[in-house]
Amino acid sequence: MGFFKLFRNEDRSPEGSAVGQSGDRATRHSSGLGELTKLISGKESLTILDLGPTSPQNISLLTGLGHRVYNEDVLLASFDPAYTSASEDGTKQIKVAEFLRENLSHNGQKFDVVLGWDIPDYLHEGLVKPSVERLAGIMKPGGVLLAFFHTKDAGPDAPYFRYHIAGKDSLSLQRGPQFRLQRVFNNRHIENLFKDFSNIKFFLARDNVREVLVIR
Amino acid sequence: MWKSPKPDERPTANTSVPVTNPPEIKKEFRPMEPVKSADSFRADVAHIGKSVLVKGELSGSEDLYLDGEVEGSIDLQEHNLTIGPHGRVRANVKAKDVIVHGKVDGNIQGTDRVELKRSAVLVGDISTQRIVIEDGAFFKGAIDIKKEAKPAVKAEAPKTFAAAASFNDQPTFTPQS
């Protein structure tokens, strides 16, 4: 997992800055979302898991289309002190088993769509691979996962955004809590991360972000 | 709702500042304005204050404003429940309209509507016909929207209504064919 580290930063505290939480939003095109929209068009009663912060807009829109929506802010949950412990040398250790016992656990529920946004870039390194493996386990065959990954040009101070679906292929970005970018994946890392999935498609997006659509 | 001042805010006996016996009303300390609605003050709305802890089954046939703590279950059938900002609920909730300002750990079944205010924290599933979530609310769980029961005799809607329905400020999400 060491190769994931490019912008490793142990100071992951969400506290400290509330900059950007004013609600100002910017809208941008999303090819990945557009492709996802095509894939699920005409389908009803899909089970959709949104891993981002609670978005009234996403919930309203997706439930309005007749889908069942699950919301789970995985990144925020990962900062729960209950999931960390200090090792002998003083470094923080993440309790992966405890985290997965209480998160990404849906009592056998399988999902058609997972909105992962750019959470893997901000998640504690010890949680990235286990969380993706768990996602593979809770998705239906043929299920679709949408994820974003920053490119190296984004830099370590790339702000964390909340993503709201604004249209069939457009997203509204709202500055969220001041999480720090933990690493940058290259294409090969992303392919390895989703090795349990059947297909992966890359889209180059604006804002130094690659969009990825992964088929279970 | 009237509260006596906290002990540390009461004038001490050995203070050197003379107290000029201000009117009693001016001594009140109100750190937080309670969430008010017109319904909150109706005579037929039961009120559970923030110092009240209820363990067990809570049921009733009138609207309820709950600012205290409940562990167990809440069943108001065809009546409304408002969980105030101090409300702490560890229970499955069933009511007609459910408005949440406080914290809920349990499933909410609102036969008509569920509303999560910006201060709401809900860990549990929602089942309702209509949902309103304010930006800032925390929600972990599933949302199941129950379709409204259609009337037996359905009048044909004028075409002008259909045209008007397509013009709203909601984001469009029309799948491509």
∠ CA A114-B144-B141, nearest 5°, is: 55
* pLDDT in the model for residue A208: 83
Q: Which residues pair with A200 in a beta bridge?
A: A214
Residue contact B145–A63, C-beta within 8 A: yes
Number of H helices, E strands in chain B: 1, 11
Q: Can you tell me the mean pLDDT for A56-75?
A: 94
Inter-residue long-range contacts of B78-87, CB under 8 Å, 24+ positions, other chains counted: B78/B111, B80/B39, B82/B35, B82/B37, B82/B39, B82/B40, B83/B120, B84/B34, B84/B35, B84/B50, B85/B32, B85/B34, B85/B35, B85/B119, B86/B50, B87/B50
- Specify whether the CB–CB gap between A42 and A63 falls below 8 A: no
Q: Which residues in A have their CB inside 8 Å of a CB on B? A: 23, 37-38, 40-42, 54, 56-57, 59-61, 63-66, 68-73, 77, 109, 165-168
Give the Cα separation of A191 and A13 in Å (integer). 29
Closest listed residue to residue A72, CA positions, set A53, A96, A46: A53
Residue pointed to by tokens 């289309």 = A65
Residue contact A71–B174, C-beta within 8 A: no
Q: Which 3 state secondary structure label does DSSP give A119?
A: helix
Q: Which 3 state secondary structure label does DSSP give A56?
A: helix
Residue contact A168–B139, C-beta within 8 A: no
Q: Which residues of A touch B131 (CB under 8 A)?
A: 59-60, 63
Average confidence score pLDDT of chain B: 75
**Interface with chain A: mutation pick from B134, B169, B173, highest number of A CBs within 10 Å:** B173
Q: Tens of pLDDT along A7-61? A: 333 333 343 333 334 457 889 999 999 999 999 988 989 999 999 999 999 999 9
* pLDDT in the model for residue B34: 58
Residue contact A59–B137, C-beta within 8 A: no
CA atoms within 13 A on the CB side of A74: 30
Assign 3-state DSSP to chain B and report helix, strand, coil percentages, each to 5: 10, 40, 50
Q: Tens of pLDDT along B56-100? A: 999 999 999 999 999 999 999 899 999 999 999 999 999 999 999
Average confidence score pLDDT of chain A: 86
Q: Does the pLDDT of residue A74 top 90, yes or no?
A: yes
Q: Could you tell me how far CA B66 lies from the centroid of its own chain? A: 8
Q: Which residues in B have their CB inside 8 Å of a CB on A? A: 131-135, 137-145, 170-177
Number of H helices, E strands in chain A: 7, 11
Residue contact A37–B141, C-beta within 8 A: no
- Read off the DSSP letter of residue B175: P
Q: Which residues of A touch B176 (CB under 8 A)?
A: 37-38, 41, 168
Residue contact A23–B135, C-beta within 8 A: yes
* pLDDT in the model for residue B166: 34
Q: Which 3 state secondary structure label does DSSP give B166?
A: coil
Give the Cα separation of B74 and A205 in Å (integer). 48
The count of other CB atoms within 10 Å of the CB of residue B14 is: 5
Residue B66 vs residues A138, B3, B26, B123, B131: alpha-carbon distances, Å: 37, 17, 28, 18, 20
Residue contact A56–B134, C-beta within 8 A: yes
Give the Cα separation of B79 and B133 in Å (integer). 20
* pLDDT in the model for residue A90: 80
The region of weakest confidence among B26-30, B64-68, B108-112 is B26-30
**Is residue B33 very low, low, confident or very high in pLDDT (cuts 50, 70, 90)?**
low
**Interface with chain B: mutation pick from A48, A54, A67, A106, highest number of B CBs within 10 Å:** A54
* pLDDT in the model for residue A132: 96
> To the nearest whole angstrom, how far is the Cα of B131 from the nearest Cα of chain A?
8
The reply to whether ipTM tops 0.90 is no
Give the Cα separation of A125 and A127 in Å (integer). 5
Element (H, E) at A136: helix A125-138
* pLDDT in the model for residue A25: 84
Q: Does the pLDDT of residue B13 top 70, yes or no?
A: no
Element (H, E) at B95: strand B88-100
Q: Which residues of B touch A23 (CB under 8 A)?
A: 135
Q: Which residues of B touch A42 (CB under 8 A)?
A: 175
The region of weakest confidence among A107-121, A163-177, B37-51, B105-119 is B37-51
Q: Could you tell me how far CA B7 lies from the centroid of its own chain? A: 30
Give the Cα separation of B76 and B61 in Å (integer). 6
Q: Which residues of A touch B170 (CB under 8 A)?
A: 60-61, 64
**Is residue A86 very low, low, confident or very high in pLDDT (cuts 50, 70, 90)?**
confident
Q: Does the pLDDT of residue B29 top 90, yes or no?
A: no
**Closest chain A residue by Cα to residue B146:** A66
Residue pointed to by tokens 């201060």 = B119
The region of weakest confidence among A20-24, A157-161, B138-142 is A20-24
Task: For residue A54, give the nearest of B132, B133, B171 by CB distance.
Answer: B133
Q: Which residue has the higher pLDDT, B146 or B8?
A: B146
**Interface with chain A: mutation pick from B115, B135, B147, highest number of A CBs within 10 Å:** B135
Give the Cα separation of B73 and B47 in Å (integer). 17
Closest listed residue to residue A36, CA positions, set B175, B142, B171: B175
Q: Which residues pair with A149 in a beta bridge?
A: A210
